[in-house]
Amino acid sequence: MPPTRTIPMTSAQPHICAKALDKAYRKGEHRVPVLRGVDISLYRGEFLSIVGSSGSGKSTLMHLLGLLDEPDNGEVWLDGTRIDKLPATTRDELRNNVFGFVFQFYHLLPELNLLENVLSPLMIRYSFLQYWRNRKELREKGLEIIEKVGLSHRLKHRPSELSGGEMQRAAIARALVGQPSVLLADEPTGNLDSRTGQEIMTLLHKLNTDDHLTIIMVTHDDAIANQAQRIVRLSEGRIQALGEAA
């Protein structure tokens, strides 16, 4: 598949960008720096992969971009607004509305069945009454997305009754149900065999091209990373190389 640039270069403002992000973790007495001044910026509809070996800080970068964590220094901007220093409730809302997360270990809630898992961001977004009033509509939405990831036959199954690929597709459906503008995927294929992993990648590509979803994918697998449009290579907390995907 030849790479086709779909980035609207005319757009003056990046969709999401990070400026000089610093992050360190404390391990007992020692301060372990993870990110040392990382700059990154993405336009709407881009598919970026962040590659690096274990401990290079790629997951931390993704967490900072997705507001799961706060940087020690540096800024995160979304559509021209700084978002990293916002109050907790606003950041919770942003996570719910703007970002969709996909994790390596799927992270579905074991007590809920597939449909409920997929609908959970909407349950979080709306209050009990709002949800109850719109339950049919929201359910339709959930069903539609499950259809899109091809799991319509598994609606009432618990995560433990699904295969790895199915779980990851369910997790993607959950990330998409709230109609986010950025999908953050942390090693989405890391726990799958190559064939299932490829299925997931195909799905992500489809979302990227069809729905113009901005995707940031973290991986250590170059073969997977190369399927993105743009690659950022991290090493010891610094950006080592920026490159177009092959």
Q: Which is nearer to other proteins, 165 or 180 (CB)?
A: 180
**Given the complex with other proteins, which of 94 and 143 has the nearer CB atom?**
94
Q: Which is nearer to other proteins, 5 or 31 (CB)?
A: 31
CB of 62 to other proteins, least distance (A): 10
Q: Which CB, 116 or 245, lies closer to other proteins? A: 116
Burial class (CB in 10 A: 0-12, 13-18, 19+), 211: middle
* Rounded least distance, CB 12 to other proteins, Å: 29
Contacting residues toward other proteins, per CB under 8 A: 60, 63, 66, 68-69, 88-89, 92-97, 101, 103, 107-112, 116, 120-121, 123-128, 131-132, 174, 178
Question: Least distance from C-beta 214 to other proteins, angstroms?
Answer: 17
Residue corresponding to tokens 């021209």: 80
HSE at residue 183, side-chain half, CA atoms within 13 A, is 31
CA dist 83 → 93, 149, 207, 213, 232 (Å): 11, 31, 25, 20, 22
Short-list 113, 239, 244, 242, CA closest to 174? 113
**Closest separation in Å from C-beta 11 to other proteins:** 26
Q: Which amino acid is at 70?
A: E
Pair type for strands 16-27 and 30-42: antiparallel
Tell me the closest approach of the beta carbon of residue 116 to other proteins, in angstroms: 7
